[in-house]
């Protein structure tokens, strides 16, 4: 679950950028 959260966070960051 933790890894998934981190992955989603990374994707969100890229999307925002």
The verdict on pTM exceeding 0.85 is no
The DSSP output letter for 3 is H
Report the C-alpha gap between 17 and 12 in whole angstroms: 8
Q: What is the pLDDT of residue 8?
A: 82
Look up tokens 């933790």; give the residue.
2
CA distance linking residue 14 with residue 17, whole number of Å = 5
Tens-binned pLDDT, residue by residue, of the chain (17 aa): 788 877 888 877 776 65
């Amino acid at each position: 679950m933790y890894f998934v959260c981190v992955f989603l966070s990374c994707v969100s960051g890229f999307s925002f950028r």
